[in-house]
Amino acid sequence: MKDITLKIREIAARLLQSGQVDIFMGWEKGQEEYQTRPFFARQEEDVEKLIFNEYSIHNLSNDLLKYRDGQEKIGIVVKGCDSRGIIRLIQDKQIERERLYIVGVACPGMKDPLQAVKDNSGFFPTAASAGLAKKCGDCIEPNPVIYDELIGDKQSPRAGEERFKLVKDIEDMSVDQRYQFFEDIFSRCIRCYACRQVCVACNCRTCIFDEMKPQWVGRETSISDNFMYHLVRASHMAGRCIECGECERVCPVNIPLMLINQKLIKDVNAFFGPYEAGIGYVEGVKPPLSSYQENDPDDFL
């Protein structure tokens, strides 16, 4: 990983120095080794702060949304899943490919800094030290799918044969069991909207949850408003979730959001597939539920 860090610094220094980019997005070390976090270098002096280590898990592609209305040229380091996020943004016309210099890193799998900081917080019963982050165990594409420069040796996917096993377990439940399951997980939602904020597919300029006239979704932390929030959030992910797993990773009350997203991935694949969101960029191609044809075989929508 040291080599990757050095290579990233070298590229960042070159791009910033030559003026090829105005901002270079990567990661820096936090207080502790495990607290690796996003860092945006703006000058050559900043470059020394950039690191890549086993905790460089944060998907930076979402941060591009902050610059969508600007003119800045942006360098960004992406792993496999993060690079799918960039395709999400380009397909959704949120950022132009020409503004980006993408440094791809073939990802060996990451550990989760949030899990590590929680394990050391004293706020939870002591857990065994975690290995690879859960989302990395479900990874179908560790290698960047769009890049200008690639670092590291090609990696193999880590998702097992039974990619949708947990989804199938839920599908096999009775209606009552399933309702109980969702009630249990949604009742603990504190509506902090972190799952929305870290999501690269959540790029609407005005989110339905912020609309006040009319207010589509109530703001009570009640089971009905929480259900509504999660149903709406999830359905907007259909065919668009790039499986970076950030929503589930950052959730402060550990709602298994990827389980819900995976159900949609499975269904979109079954109904309209084969389809994997953001796995390759073809100009003009849109996700299945983002395109409309007049001769659609269904008579409604």
Partner 1 sequence: MQILSKSKLEEALNQLGKNAELFVPLARGEESGFYPWSSYQAGSDRLMLDALNVLLPPKSVVFPQTERMYSFTSTGPAVEIKETFESPQPRIIFGLRACDAAAIACFDDVFLTMGFIDSFYQARRDNTTIVAHACYEPGANCFCEAMGVDPTEPVNADVIIRDAGEVYIWESKSSKGEKLTAALGSLLENKEAAAPGLKPFQQQANYEGVAEKLKGMFEDPIWEQLAATCQTCGICTYVCPSCYCFDIQVKSWGEEGYRFRCYDSCMYSEYTQMAGGHNPRGNERERFRNRFLHKLQFFSERYGKPLCTGCGRCIVACPAGINIVEIINNIKEADTSVRA
Q: Phi first, then psi: what are they for 217, rounded to 5°?
A: -125, 125
> For the window 3-32, what string marks contact with partner 1 as x by the rule CB under 8 A?
---------------------------xxx
- What distance in Å separates the CA atoms of residue 282 and residue 186, rounded to the nearest whole number? 37
Given the complex with partner 1, which of 224 and 291 has the nearer CB atom? 224
Verify binding: residue 190, partner 1, rule CB under 8 A.
yes
Q: Which of 150, 196, 275, 276 binds partner 1 (CB under 8 A)?
A: 196
Verify binding: residue 272, partner 1, rule CB under 8 A.
no
Helices 257-272, 223-235: inter-axial angle, 10-degree rounding: 40
Contact call for residues 264 and 234 (beta carbons, < 8 A): yes
- What distance in Å separates the CA atoms of residue 233 and residue 230, rounded to the nearest whole number? 5
Q: Which of 124, 179, 271, 272 binds partner 1 (CB under 8 A)?
A: 124
Given the complex with partner 1, which of 58 and 88 has the nearer CB atom? 58
Based on its alpha-carbon atoms, the radius of gyration of the chain, rounded to whole angstroms, reads 20
Q: How many residues touch partner 1 (CB under 8 A)?
A: 46
Verify binding: residue 66, partner 1, rule CB under 8 A.
yes
Verify binding: residue 68, partner 1, rule CB under 8 A.
no
> Is the backbone peptide bond immediately before 274 cis, with ω within 30 degrees of 0?
yes
- The token duo for 228 is 């509504």
- What distance in Å separates the CA atoms of residue 190 and residue 226, rounded to the nearest whole number? 9
Stretches 94-102, 110-118, 133-141, 158-166: which one binds partner 1 (CB under 8 A)?
A: 110-118
Contact call for residues 209 and 196 (beta carbons, < 8 A): yes
Verify binding: residue 38, partner 1, rule CB under 8 A.
yes
- The token duo for 170 is 């839920």
Verify binding: residue 43, partner 1, rule CB under 8 A.
no
Verify binding: residue 253, partner 1, rule CB under 8 A.
yes
Q: What are the residues binding partner 1 (CB under 8 A)?
A: 30-32, 35-40, 58, 62-63, 66, 113-114, 117-118, 120-125, 188, 190-194, 196-198, 210, 212, 215, 218-222, 246, 249-250, 252-254
